[in-house]
Chains A and B, each alone.
Chain A
């Protein structure tokens, strides 16, 4: 005789029936049969980007391009250019020239398809008072809004991802959704990011951004030249960051922030090429890196070109 328990609703349920029902119910929740089209399953079982071969990458990119086309009603190209051999990207920023005009912040937003509402910006320009404790980040101001810049008695320091050689964010990621590429760029696979934000806690530079809401950007303002690891449109609940404009730099172009800077304070090049601008800066100017003592070994060099 099976053991039957009564319950307050008066439903009589033996163990066997309960287990059957539970199994069916679980199957129903785990397998959303209603939207079980091929694309959903492909996305669900997508491999890690670094474990995919070229054919698999191509398939994934085709699927994503189709998804984006449905969403934005325009063709969006997703590239997957590989790192160039013998290239390690480095960035230079001349603090004696920067006037804090924030042109770079908005050029970056346009190039890299950041969300406009909620606002996501990869570059933060910090304003410091001259002559005080020099680089006290707690005393810096990022909401400054005068009529004209530069303001007397102040200097400006834009901060973005420092592309560390020893990136703490990569070690913190539980799903290996972020990693350092051979050309030195730290990238995020937005399809592997689970949104735990451990990387944001680990980053000493506050360079990573989280999509708290569905990223909103008008379709006509979407930059259609994208890279899988770079500026393709993101999802709600994933982390994103500066990639040195991987979609441009892997094709030999300068990053968008370098090209917009009206004072030419931003420099970019190959650290392994002795003829590059960035090597000239490191060899001839007074250079420092932000929070060097943390042993993150950033490839983002701040320098002073004015006065030797």
Chain B
């Protein structure tokens, strides 16, 4: 009886093994796939330019790498030598960005696009170290998108005019 009980228990375990595995792998994939949403303000579009589909819907897609002459002439790409529009923008649905693996993301999640190359910075940004935070130190924090400080077509932070220096002791009356 005792031996039978053990055998039945073993049999049940073996029978259930694939199911247990499936549950675990499901949990794992779920943990990877659900990204943490960061609280960010809307992306800094030039006024009236979004949604891109308002013009691009009526235009044929030209996937030839070329210099733009009718629109967007102000954009000269000084980022990623040899790169061009469709490395990041999605040719078929212009209101989305496209990751290298083909996954489409919206403009307010553009940090995933930047993270493809700038992984170390992305890690610091997620931890709250890279970039500006406002809000509560012990509560809800307002993040900023990468593109709020780094214009993606020419990313280095632009110089600023400093505010006035302090008064010198000699200038105090």
Contact = CB atoms under 8 A, between A and B. Distances in A.
Contacts of B137: 249, 252-254, 268-270, 276-277
B129 A281 contact: yes
A284 B121 CA distance: 12
A252 B159 contact: no
Contacts of A119: 166-167, 172
B163 interface: yes
A261 B132 contact: yes
A308 B120 CA distance: 10
Interface string A140-174: 00111111111000000000000000000000000
Interface string B139-173: 10000100001000000010111111111100010
Of the four ranges (under 10, 10 to 19, 20 to 34, 35 or more), the interface on chain A belongs to: 35 or more
Nearest to B166: A121
B127 A280 contact: yes
B160 A101 contact: yes
A264 B146 CA distance: 12
Interface in A241-263: 249, 252-254, 258-259, 261-263
Given A99-B157, A118-B172, A258 B149 contact: no
A263 B132 contact: yes
B159 A254 contact: no
Contacts of B164: 102, 145
A262 B136 contact: no
Nearest to B142: A259
A152 to B, nearest CB: 10
B84 to A, nearest CB: 28
Main secondary structure, interface of B, reads: loop
A129 to B, nearest CB: 17
Contacts of A285: 129
A149 B162 CA distance: 6
Nearest to A263: B157
B130 interface: yes
Contact of B133 (A144, A277, A284): A277
Interface string A119-151: 101001000000000000000001111111110
Nearest to A252: B136
B135 interface: yes
A126 B131 CA distance: 22
Contacts of B124: 284, 305
A25 B70 CA distance: 92
A142 B168 CA distance: 10
A264 to B, nearest CB: 3
Contacts of A261: 132
A105 interface: yes
Nearest to B163: A102
Contacts of B159: 99, 148-150
A192 interface: no
B44 interface: no
A267 B128 contact: yes
Contact of B130 (A100, A146, A249, A264): A264
Contact of A305 (B129, B133, B165): B129
Interface string A78-120: 0000000001000000100001111101100000000000110
Interface of A: 87, 94, 99-103, 105-106, 118-119, 121, 124, 142-150, 249, 252-254, 258-259, 261-264, 267-270, 273, 276-277, 280-281, 284-285, 305, 308
29 contacts: A101-B162, A103-B163, A105-B166, A119-B166, A121-B166, A142-B165, A142-B166, A143-B166, A145-B165, A149-B159, A149-B161, A149-B162, A249-B137, A254-B135, A258-B134, A259-B134, A262-B149, A262-B160, A263-B132, A264-B131, A264-B132, A267-B128, A267-B129, A269-B137, A273-B138, A284-B124, A284-B127, A285-B129, A305-B129
Given A254-B136, A267-B128, A267-B133, 15 more contacts: A94-B129, A105-B166, A148-B160, A149-B159, A149-B160, A149-B162, A150-B159, A254-B135, A261-B132, A263-B132, A263-B149, A264-B133, A264-B144, A267-B129, A285-B129
